[in-house]
């Protein structure tokens, strides 16, 4: 089982810094016209695809260094929420 699935099953520790990072990413996605909503006490971001399908879940991982999605196969530094939003928007448009 990968680290993200294990964390989801065990519960995420609440870290205000990670929640703030997800808020910044959500705000950047909103500016790009992407529907995203914070979930689970700001420990996860659910990004909706423009077409029907499963949403993409985004977490802050790797000690707060990266946004990660697709079972941590995709990630982007948390210091660049604008760049992460652009990558996510491109990813869900496919």
pLDDT in tens, the chain (94 residues): 565 555 555 554 444 599 999 999 999 999 999 999 999 999 999 999 988 989 999 999 999 999 999 999 999 999 999 999 999 999 999 8
Say what the pLDDT of residue 5 is: 55
Contact (CB, 8 A) for 57 and 45: yes
In this predicted structure, what is the pLDDT of residue 16?
52
- Measured between alpha carbons, how far is residue 3 from residues 10, 64, 84 in Å? 10, 14, 20
Q: pTM to 2 decimals?
A: 0.80
């Amino acid at each position: 089982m990968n680290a993200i699935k294990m964390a989801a099953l065990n519960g995420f520790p609440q870290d205000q810094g990670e929640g703030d990072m997800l808020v910044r990413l959500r705000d950047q996605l909103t500016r790009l016209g992407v529907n995203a909503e914070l979930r689970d006490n700001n420990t996860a971001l659910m990004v909706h695809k423009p077409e029907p399908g499963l949403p993409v879940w985004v977490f802050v991982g790797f000690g707060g260094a990266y946004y990660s999605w697709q079972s941590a196969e995709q990630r982007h530094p948390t210091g660049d929420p604008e760049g992460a939003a652009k990558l996510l928007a491109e990813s869900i448009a496919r």
